[in-house]
Amino acid sequence: MDDGFFHGFHADLNNPDMWVRFLKEKGLALSPAPLIDAKWLFWEMMRVSREIDPYMLNAIQKLRETRKYRLGALTNNYVFPEGHPYRDDRDIKALFDVYIASAEVGMRKPEHRIFEHAIKALGVESASQIVFLDDLGGNLKAAKEMGLNTIKVPLRDTQKAIRQLEEILGEELAPPPSPKL
C-alpha cells in the first residue's frame, strides 16, 4: 500500500457528503463527520480479517464432508510481500474447490465480471445454484443481480448466516452446543 492509496482512502472516509448520505440511509440524526484515520483503519481491517471465524470454518468443513457441494471462495484481497506480518501463508485455499482472489484475477467485488468468473469456475449450469455469503451489502446486491442466492453475514454474528444456509441446503452446519457443567 502506497501513500496514494491511503490518501484516496482517507478522502473517501472523510467525505462530508458521504457521511450525510450514510446518516440518512441509517435514519440517524445529522451530526458532524468524525475524523477517521484511514491508515489505522485499513491496517485494523487487515488484522481483523485474518481471524478465522470458528463457526464459519466448522460449517465449511461440514459441507466438505458431505461431498455434495462445490465450495468456492471469492475474496477481495491484497498480496503482502514476503516477511510482512500480514502475509498469509496458511493454506486457506485448501478448504475450497475454487478460490478466486481479486489480487490474482484483476477484478474485485462488486464488479459483475468477477461473479461471472466465479460462476464459470464453479462449473454450475445456472447462477441460481450458488449461495453467496458476504458481509457487504454492495457485494450482495451485485451477486443477486447476477442471479446468485445471497446471505448477509452480520459482523460478529456469523451463526445467523450459517442458520440461513442450513435452511437453504437442509444441512446441519452449526457446531453442537457445548455442554454446561
17: which residues sit within 8 A by CB, 6+ positions away?
Answer: none
C-alpha cell read off for 134: 458476504
Residues 159 and 90 reside in one and the same domain = yes
The letter for the amino acid at 23 is L
- Give CA–CA dist 139/132, Å, rounded: 9
Task: Examine residue 106 and state whether it is found in any structural domain, yes or no.
Answer: yes
Task: Examine residue 179 and state whether it is found in any structural domain, yes or no.
Answer: no
Domain span holding position 40: 3-47
Q: Under a CB-based contact definition with an 8 Å cutoff, are residues 62 and 173 in contact?
A: yes
Residues 35 and 122 reside in one and the same domain = no
Task: Examine residue 176 and state whether it is found in any structural domain, yes or no.
Answer: no
| pLDDT given for residue 179 in this prediction | 60
> DSSP strand E in the chain: where?
72-75, 98-101, 131-134, 149-152
The letter for the amino acid at 107 is M
* Residues 78-95 pLDDT 10s: 777 788 777 776 778 899
Residues 23 and 100 reside in one and the same domain = no
Residues 43 and 73 reside in one and the same domain = no
Q: Give the domain CATH number at 70.
A: 3.40.50.1000
* Residues 68-80 pLDDT 10s: 999 999 998 877 7
Residues 18 and 57 reside in one and the same domain = no
